[in-house]
Amino acid sequence: MAAREFNLTFEVAPPPAVRPGLPFTIPVIIAVRPIGTPARNVQHLVVSASLRDENSTAPAVGLGGSLTASVRSRSDNAMSGYAKFPSLTVSRPGKYRVRVMLSAASVNGVVTKEFVDSGVINVHAAAPAAQRPTPLQAGTLQRLTAENLDISTADIAKWQSA
């Protein structure tokens, strides 16, 4: 297997509990950072989200919303930055994880580079209808307003009062 070229981390992870069918209040944000010098033929990085079972051993159905996002940053849309997944939903009760996969488009086609799984998300009817950002998440979101992600201080205030 080739050496890893990128590190993926959840900058803002999915909430630990949500109601079935209700969009996550706060967008899920992935940080993409190169490890060493990535291959020079990469033209565009794309991140896609999918749903896995609680143990990440099998795919699950029911994830909705914008499931693909370009990696963007304030400087350019090239080898590092962030991908934002606004308004994700999980339609069925149960325990799941969100898997995020990084793909690189080049002149040779699209190649999956890395993936990372979230913590467990408990989807049930008694979960809060909205999630408020923790103080740590609010600070992270505030820092990310400088990036090219369409997140404003007004958005953060709205999520804090949700």
**Two structure tokens written together for 24:** 């996550």
Residues ≥6 apart with Cβ < 8 Å to 115: 8, 99, 100, 101, 102
**SS3 helix, strand, coil % of the chain, rounded to 5?**
10, 40, 50
pLDDT tens readout for residues 126-159 = 999 999 999 999 999 999 999 888 999 999 999 9
* The one-letter amino acid at 107: V
Q: Model pTM?
A: 0.90
Q: Are 128 and 16 in contact (CB under 8 A)?
A: no
pLDDT tens readout for residues 97-136 = 999 999 887 777 777 888 999 999 999 999 999 999 999 9
Domains of the chain: 6-129 (2.60.40.3960)
Q: In this model, does residue 2 exceed pLDDT 70?
A: no
How many CB atoms are closer than 10 A to CB 42? 19
**Two structure tokens written together for 35:** 């490890």
